[in-house]
Amino acid sequence: MASSSSLFLLAALLALASWQAIAFDPSPLQDFCVADMSSPVRVNGFVCKDPMAVNSDDFFNPAMLDQPRDTMNKVGSNVTNINVDNFPGLNTLGISLARIDYAPLGVNPPHIHPRATELLTVLEGTLYLGFVTSNPNRLFSKVVKKGDVFVFPKAMIHFQMNLAHDKPAAALSSLNSQNPGVITVASAVFGSKPPISDDLLAKAFQVEKKLIDWLQSQFWENNY
């Protein structure tokens, strides 16, 4: 007969496995759940539209990813998202897309998707990209070209840069969440409202406070 400690360990392992199984977007309990964007009710996602009012257009999104986007900004990139906010038919399906356009030497700055793993496919150009793990902070980086695929694990800090000096680049990103979210590291740390204490940041980054004050005074542009 199993000891009480063995039974406790088994129960703990089962609980952990169960938690891991639900730590993503929930699986749908019906064929579809088109988001009712007019509903004032918000739980952990969106309320379902009446299925009898659903039509084919709810599962269609007009061409948003076929043309390059304007990359004339400070970072030289532009991210076009296709998620539940602009495609209600994705609700509960656990998937979204994004097109990323890069100017010559443009970057998609270090950022995190708190709710999704990202699979990136290069459409045009040559990119330097990578991600950094949690402690110890190991960098996994690669130079990738048209047709190459690279995966960024969930919630890891990651980035991309167009290596060409004279040509734009583009990539398609697939994410396993209907609403993956994004936290851009520099703007979150130095551009939060209200700002984080400059004394705290100076000590955290081991720099003079006047440098932190200068960074906090900058306009942190959003490329999303």
The pLDDT tens digits of the residues spanning 43-100 come to 778 999 999 999 999 999 987 788 999 999 999 999 999 999 999 999 999 999 999 9
Provide the pLDDT for residue 13: 44
Q: What is the mean pLDDT of the chain?
A: 89
Q: Which amino acid, 37?
A: M
Predicted TM-score of the model (pTM): 0.85
Same domain assignment for residues 110 and 145: yes
Domain ranges, residue 153: 25-50+71-181
Residue 4 resides in a domain: no
Same domain assignment for residues 209 and 100: no
Same domain assignment for residues 124 and 92: yes
Q: How many domains does the chain have?
A: 2
Same domain assignment for residues 124 and 205: no
CA-based max dimension of the chain: 72
Instruction: Determine the number of helices (DSSP H) and then strands (DSSP E) in the chain.
Output: 4, 10
**pLDDT reading at 19 higher than 70:** no
**Taking the mean position of all CA atoms in its chain, how far away is CA 224?**
10
Same domain assignment for residues 147 and 223: no
Looking at residue 171, which CATH number applies to its domain?
2.60.120.10
Residues 33-38: what's their mean pLDDT?
Answer: 92
Residues 18-31: what's their mean pLDDT?
Answer: 61
Same domain assignment for residues 121 and 45: yes
Same domain assignment for residues 40 and 121: yes
Residue 219 resides in a domain: yes
* Cis ω before 194 (30° cut-off from 0): yes
Q: Cα separation of 212 and 202, whole Å?
A: 6
Same domain assignment for residues 99 and 133: yes
Q: Are strands 96-102 and 169-175 parallel, antiparallel or unpaired?
A: antiparallel
- Residue 186: its H or E element: helix 185-190
Residue 108 resides in a domain: yes
Residue 127 resides in a domain: yes
